[in-house]
Structure formats: structure tokens, C-alpha cells
Structure 1
Amino acid sequence: MKEEKLPSVVGSKSFTAVAINCAAKAGEWVKTKLGTTLQLNQKVSASDLVTEIDKGSERLIRNLISTHFPQHSFLGEEGVEPGADASTQAIASAKDAEYLWIVDPIDGTTNFVHGFPFFCVSIALAYKGEVIVGVIYDPSSDELFVAEKGKGAYVHGKRLEISKEMKLQESLIATGFPPDQSYALPLNLRAIARLAPQVRNIRSGGSAALHMAYVAAGRLTGFFEYNLNSWDLAAGSLIIQEAGGKVTDIEGHSYHLEVRDVVASNGHIHQELLQELGRV
């Protein structure tokens, strides 16, 4: 059976070029809003915030994408009601679209609110449920991480490569502190307690998408977190895989758009990391 060639353009319009343009424009606009007076709203807890900047960034991205590809579907974080059930339902309803743009207009909103420079814009494009373009833009460091299915992953034209650590004890692992305080946060804390004595160290920067970009860049050996959403993970999943790494769910099954409990790594330590998380 002949393998289906994944499309990279519609007409003369490159998907990747549009994704890069959207991420860069939204990121630069978000950066200009740092330190401005914000209207804060909570989602599921005090650590899960949304601002008018998140909403403005998503509108900007949606408008740009619809200008180029008006027939494409769009799934953005700010268009979905808070909570795991709503997020699960949203991706289940959208995942079978021929072309689906999956957008987090600011991943790391709490950092943005506090002026902590670790947040990003994350944009992915899925074709029939498979991520074919992933772009993560960090406006604070002006780093643009880009991957296209089958064509590698890059930051500012330099090819990304995963780290070379072979053992968990040599690894720098990242995770987060989920806003869901009834399920995901306690689970994540137990996982941290189990892993901390067995790894070189653990970091928590506050942006799942940037953590994944850092795995792809070899700055982190691995990353795990519970109860994330497709807009947190889709772009980073492709960037890691195109850099030579591995992304699965917590049970080791291959990444797909409905994965919420994620494990990402350089591949070398993946099985060892999964085994330890399986004992939590």
C-alpha cells in the first residue's frame, strides 16, 4: 500500500509559514502587554488564570488563519469552557476534522501575569487527526521552535536535537503543578516525590509547551504532567518527535490528540521514566 503523502500547502499557501506568522505576530503583541493592567478571571482554581490578553491573542490568531484557510477548523483554549470534561469533549468533537488548528494563545498565563518570562504561543495543525505542523514562539527570548512532519525540528534555522542522557539518574526532568486540585495536582506531587531522589533534578517553569520545546532542544531530558489539554501538547509533541524524541501517554501508548496525561523524553530514558511513574 502506497504511503499517503502529507500535504504541506493548500494552493500556494504554506501551512508552516502561516503558523509561524501567526505565532510571531501574536507573541510580539502579547509581549507589548507585559506589565499592563489586567482583568484577571479564574478558571478552575486561583492558579488557572485567563486575561483579556489571552482572548485578544486568540482572536488575532484565529482571524489570521481564517484569512488564509477559511474552510479549516479551529480549536483554541479560550473558546472552550473551563474544566477537563469540556476540554475532552471539545477535542473529541473536533479531532476528525480534515484540517484542525489547535491553539494556545498564551501558554503560561500565570507567568505572564506576574512578569515571569516563561510563556509562549503554541500553534499546531492536524490533518485527519495527525499533527503535521507545530510552532512554539517564546517572545521573551525571541525563540521560534518549528517542526513540519517528516522534515525535522528547528529553532531559528538550527536543527534541534534531543539530549544524550541514557539513564534517569542523569536526567533533568520538568513537570508542572496542575490547577485541578482534586485529582491532577496530588498525583503530580506524588510523582515528584517519587522521582526527585532518582533524577539529577526537577524543574517547573510553568509552561507545558515550552517544557516540551526544551526537551526537543536538549535542554531537558524529559517532561511529564497530568490532565493537560490538546492545545498544551499538540505543537510540542511534533517538535519533540521531529527532534528524535518520544511522546506517549502515561501508559506508554503513542501520542494522539486526546492524550491528557503525557510523558515526553529524549527516548533513551523513556521506559525508565514510565516505569517510575507507573509506581505512583
Structure 2
Amino acid sequence: MIEIAIQAAREAGSYLKECFNEKSIPDEELHNDVKLPEDKESERRIIEVLHRHFPTHSIYSEEVGAVDREEEYLWIIDPLDGTNNYFIGYPYFSVSIALQHAGEIVLGVVYNPIADQMFWAEKGKGAYLNGNPLNVNERTELKMAVGTYVRGRHSVTREQELAFTEPFMLETKRLMRNVGPALDWCLLARGWIDYVVMQKSGIMDVAAGILIAQEANARVTYWDGSLYQHQPFDETHLPSLLATNGVLHDELRKLIAD
């Protein structure tokens, strides 16, 4: 299954990379979102691969929604995570594919086609980047920590975002807002960044990334400090999470409490 997921991600990613330098004409451009034909074509290619190999599996994807086949396997797909970045020519986007089995995420693939970075993980088997094992870093100084912020597009206002992120901007070295959350979690897994803080955001585009981070030994909790556990996929579920290298977790969580 992991091999087929990687194949599907690579096929969709190759298409997205091929089209990236062309001017995309949106199907719809909204205040805080954009709908691109590349999204739909990437999705079509992924679903075609998955259905060819696993015709009884269910699928949930950003564009088509649910394809329910009454099977305990559910593929959760974001065919172009970072659509706005893609639209403006900012090369920070990915293809994200996760597989849920009996209510648990059992594998995740995140592919960055521009840098040819294939991140993947299977539950209990570790996380990898292009075949090399991943592990979070061991940074200990809060003032040197670099992190990313992920917020729900429709569940958090800009005013709330500014108020919430201020302590992180003041107390850590840098807080980035990349608007490509699947890759954010993979940066944590690789040890390139130290934390990810997520506010009322959906699981669809980060399910694969969360598993990759967990398998790279990241500590992932809810804001109250309780350990994060994946719930059976529900598009209306908007958790607030903190993920770190573990060493800095308690200090970073105090910034949320404050």
C-alpha cells in the first residue's frame, strides 16, 4: 500500500511540477482561497491509481468529497496542499495522501515535487525522506527555536491569529506561516524546524504529515497537553495541536496557556 501511495503521489506531483511555471487560470478566486484546474487533475490522477489497485477502498478528497465504498480502508487526499502558493508561483506545496484503517492513520505520504522530496511513514515503522530515516532535532533553547503556524481557514479570524501568534513571535527565533501545512509537519520530522502549532484546522491536509512527524519521534498533543490521538476522519473536526521535538514542548505550551 505504501508503494502504491508513493506511486500516486509521484504521478500527481510530476504533473504539478510540469505545470508550475505556466500561468494558472483559476476556476474561482475567493477572498482567502483559490480553485485551480491543477487541483482537480492532480486529484484525478491520484484517485485513478488508488482505484486501480484498491477498487473497494473508500476515498475522501478535497475536490470530489467522499467516495464511500463501505470499506474499512479510507484514503484521505489533498491533491495540492498549498494551492495559493502554487497559484502565485511560490514553490512550497505538496501532494498529501494518508490511509486510515479501522479509525487509525496507518500510512502517510507527502511529496514535494519541486525539490523531489518524498516523505513517508507507516505506523510503527518509522519515517523516511527519499529512503533515509527521519528524526526530530534536539534543540533545547526556546529563543533559538523556529516553528510554523497553521490555522483553520474559516475557523480563525485574522485578529485571533495575530493575538495568538504574538508570544511565539516574541519568545522564539522565528514563527513562519507557510500556508502549506503538510510540508510543515515534514520539516519538523526532518529536524529542520522545532515546532508546529495548529489552531482549529482540519485534518485532511495534515493527516499524512502528522503520522510522519509522530514516526520521527515528534511529540504531538492537544493544547491542554493531552496526547493527540487520531479520531475517525470527520471533515468538521478542527483540532488545535502543538507538535515539537519533545524537549521544548512544555515551554512552548506555556506560550499557548499565556
What TM-score comes out, normalization by structure 2 length?
0.90
Structure 1 position 145 matched with structure 2 position 130: no
1:251 partner SS? coil
Q: Distance between the aligned counterparts of 2:152 and 2:163, measured in 1?
A: 13
- Matched to 1:25, the amino acid is E
Aligned to 1:130: 104
Q: Distance between the aligned counterparts of 1:99 and 1:18, measured in 2?
A: 14
Aligned to 2:53: 68
2:224 partner SS? coil
Deviates more, 1:50-59 or 1:162-171: 162-171
Any runs of at least 4 consecutive aligned residues in structure 1 with deviations exceeding 6 A, and if so which?
A: none
- Which of the numbers 81, 101, 124 marks the counterpart of 1:107? 81
Structure 1 position 246 matched with structure 2 position 213: no
Post-superposition CA distance 1:8-67 (Å, at most 9, x none):
xxxxxxx10011001111000111111334332457x52311201001111111111011
Post-superposition CA distance 1:176-207 (Å, at most 9, x none):
46533x73433222122121111111122220
Q: Distance between the aligned counterparts of 1:213 and 1:156, measured in 2?
A: 12
- Which of the numbers 193, 196, 203 marks the counterpart of 2:166? 193
The Cα shift of 1:242 comes to 0.6
- Which of the numbers 183, 199, 202 marks the counterpart of 2:156? 183
Aligned to 1:7: none
Q: Distance between the aligned counterparts of 1:101 and 1:146, measured in 2?
A: 15
Aligned residues: 251
The Cα shift of 1:115 comes to 1.1
Aligned to 2:130: 156
Aligned to 1:274: 253
Aligned to 1:169: 143
Retained in 1: the 8 A contact 2:152–2:238?
A: no
Retained in 2: the 8 A contact 1:252–1:274?
A: yes
- Name structure 2 gaps, 5 residues minimum: 232-236
Retained in 2: the 8 A contact 1:107–1:232?
A: yes
- Name structure 1 gaps, 5 residues minimum: 1-14, 81-89
Post-superposition CA distance 1:155-186 (Å, at most 9, x none):
01111110111243231111146533x73433
What TM-score comes out, normalization by structure 1 length?
0.83
Shift of the 267–36 alpha-carbon distance from structure 1 to 2, 3 Å rule, reads same
- Matched to 1:227, the amino acid is K
Q: Distance between the aligned counterparts of 1:224 and 1:78, measured in 2?
A: 26
- Matched to 1:232, the amino acid is D
Shift of the 195–97 alpha-carbon distance from structure 1 to 2, 3 Å rule, reads farther
Aligned to 1:29: 15
Over the aligned positions, Cα root-mean-square deviation in angstroms equals 2.1
Retained in 1: the 8 A contact 2:78–2:97?
A: yes
Q: Distance between the aligned counterparts of 2:193 and 2:157, measured in 1?
A: 22
Aligned to 1:261: 240
Post-superposition CA distance 1:66-96 (Å, at most 9, x none):
111111110111124xxxxxxxxx7xx98x9
Shift of the 272–79 alpha-carbon distance from structure 1 to 2, 3 Å rule, reads farther
Mapping for residues 4-19 of structure 1, pairs under 5 Å: 15-19=1-5
Mapping for residues 49-88 of structure 1, pairs under 5 Å: 49-80=34-65
